[in-house]
Amino acid sequence: MVEVEGNSVLALIIVFSASIILFFYYYYCYYYHIYEHHGKNIPPGSLGFPVIGESWSFVKAQREDKGSEWIEKRVAMHGTVFKTSLMGCPTVVVTGRTGNKFVFSADDESLSVKQPPSIAMLVGKYNVLELTGPRYKHVKSVVMRFLKPEAIQEYIDPMNSIMKNTLNSLKVKDSVLIVPLMKRLTFNITCSLLFGLHDEPTNDALFEDFSHLFKGLWSVPLNLPGTAFRRALHARSNIVQRVTPILKSRRKKIIEEVVNANSDMLSGLITRLSDEEIIDNFVALMVASHDTTAILLTLMVWKLARDPQIYQKVSQEQSAIIKERQEKTNGKLTWSEIQKMKYTWRVAQEIMRMIPPVFGNFRKAMKDINFAGYDIPKGWQVFWEVTQTHMNNGIFENATSFDPSRFENSSRSIQTFTYIPFGAGSRMCLGNEFARVEALTVMHHLVTNFEWSQLIPDEPITRNPMPYPSKGLPIKLKVKETSDML
- Binding-site sequence positions for heme: 429
DSSP-derived 3-state class of residue 452: strand
DSSP-derived 3-state class of residue 68: helix
Helices 308-328 and 292-306: angle between axes, nearest 10 degrees: 110
DSSP state of 225: T
Q: Give the C-alpha separation, 67 to 356, whole Å.
A: 11
Q: Give the C-alpha separation, 379 to 362, whole Å.
A: 12
Binding residues: 429
Sequential DSSP letters for 80-137: SEEEEEETTEEEEEE-HHHHHHHHHH--TTTEE-PPPHHHHHHH-TTSTTT--HHHHH
Distance between start and end Cα atoms, the chain:
78
The dihedral through the CA atoms of 67, 73, 75, 78 has a sign that is negative
Q: Give the C-alpha separation, 482 to 447, whole Å.
A: 11
- Cβ atoms within 10 A of the Cβ of 102, count? 23
